[in-house]
A = this chain, B = another copy of it.
């Protein structure tokens, strides 16, 4: 059977969340272990995950290879894959890419909203594209087997990353801009550049990325998936829910402002609604993946296509992406 994979979550992790992953039959989740953390701070986050793996071996384990997804499915557990939403954990040191791969990191965003040492973020006024260090780091990520993730990067940087990378890249969590015109959502030429180079995009369930936000209907979401798949090919897409379950508002503040400003940046929120928005009722948490699969069937996808979108495509991408090159 095809595995079920979610290509992005950042919950306030707990036994409850891990049990819900099992209830939703989610075989693998790419989890964020760093937003603005330094190398050492991110290692501390790995240590926290190691304690969860030690405490809940019946529910979760550290996924490192595509084969771990099949293993998770066979054993009735969820494989947890690590990733960063910002290149902060490699600091200014390209040698840390390989160190992080050894520690199990499999995805790294080249920027998060702002300019980084590697690429421009989607909230900057100017996008100068991939930097000198960015080119060197993409080559190193390609060598060791770490996915270039451009979810929070600006358009030109993303298109250039797709061109420069010798392996397919990903937008793990976003939606098409023409369906919901958030700054974080992706224009057609960006999606085209990524998918035509063999890359993947995960559709986001984060309300700020949805048409009508928390009031978005399942039908609208699934029709958007159908249109996007029709345009760019059904095998280049999956789910990247961006589920931020049970997080206090202090966490969205850390995600948005880190240590880069002393002011408040509301990002996709506003002064009136600074916290996490409520999830739409048809996708509250990990238990609701069946709703999405059902919705995809209702807009006309056949069973093979539903399976591909719910995890088969990500599984193929994992198989191509995580192993080091000879």
Residue numbers of A with Cβ under 8 A of B are: 39-40, 43-44, 46-47, 50-51, 93, 95-96, 98-99, 102-104
Pairwise interchain contact B47-A98, C-beta atoms closer than 8 A: yes
Pairwise interchain contact A103-B99, C-beta atoms closer than 8 A: yes
Residue from the list B40, B50, B51, B99 in contact with A46, Cβ < 8 A:
B99
Extra A-B contacts (14), CB below 8 Å, given A43-B99, A44-B95, A47-B99: A39-B43, A43-B96, A46-B99, A47-B93, A47-B95, A47-B96, A50-B95, A50-B98, A50-B99, A51-B95, A99-B103, A102-B102, A102-B103, A102-B104
Complex Cα spacing A103 to B104, Å: 10
- A-B contacts, 21 listed (Cβ < 8 Å): A39-B40, A39-B43, A40-B40, A43-B96, A43-B99, A44-B95, A46-B99, A47-B93, A47-B95, A47-B96, A47-B98, A47-B99, A50-B95, A50-B98, A50-B99, A51-B95, A99-B103, A102-B102, A102-B103, A102-B104, A103-B103
Complex Cα spacing A39 to B93, Å: 15
Complex Cα spacing A50 to B68, Å: 25
Residue in B closest to A48 when the chains form the complex, CB atoms? B95
Contact residues in B for A93 (Cβ distance below 8 Å): 47
Taking the nearest CB of chain B, how far is it from the CB of A1, in angstroms? 27
Copies in the complex: 2
Complex Cα spacing A50 to B101, Å: 12
Taking the nearest CB of chain B, how far is it from the CB of A62, in angstroms? 9
Taking the nearest CB of chain B, how far is it from the CB of A98, in angstroms? 5
Contact residues in B for A104 (Cβ distance below 8 Å): 102
Complex Cα spacing A210 to B51, Å: 45
Residue in B closest to A53 when the chains form the complex, CB atoms? B98
Taking the nearest CB of chain B, how far is it from the CB of A305, in angstroms? 38
Taking the nearest CB of chain B, how far is it from the CB of A229, in angstroms? 38
Residue in B closest to A39 when the chains form the complex, CB atoms? B40
Residue in B closest to A46 when the chains form the complex, CB atoms? B99
Complex Cα spacing A246 to B241, Å: 55
Contact residues in B for A103 (Cβ distance below 8 Å): 99, 102-103
Contact residues in B for A102 (Cβ distance below 8 Å): 102-104
Taking the nearest CB of chain B, how far is it from the CB of A194, in angstroms? 29
Residue in B closest to A38 when the chains form the complex, CB atoms? B40
Residue in B closest to A98 when the chains form the complex, CB atoms? B50
Taking the nearest CB of chain B, how far is it from the CB of A54, in angstroms? 8
Contact residues in B for A50 (Cβ distance below 8 Å): 95, 98-99
Complex Cα spacing A102 to B47, Å: 11
Complex Cα spacing A99 to B102, Å: 10
Residue in B closest to A91 when the chains form the complex, CB atoms? B40
Contact residues in B for A96 (Cβ distance below 8 Å): 43, 47
Complex Cα spacing A261 to B51, Å: 36
Complex Cα spacing A104 to B98, Å: 12
Residue in B closest to A93 when the chains form the complex, CB atoms? B47
Taking the nearest CB of chain B, how far is it from the CB of A101, in angstroms? 10
Complex Cα spacing A60 to B103, Å: 21
Complex Cα spacing A43 to B96, Å: 8
Complex Cα spacing A98 to B51, Å: 10
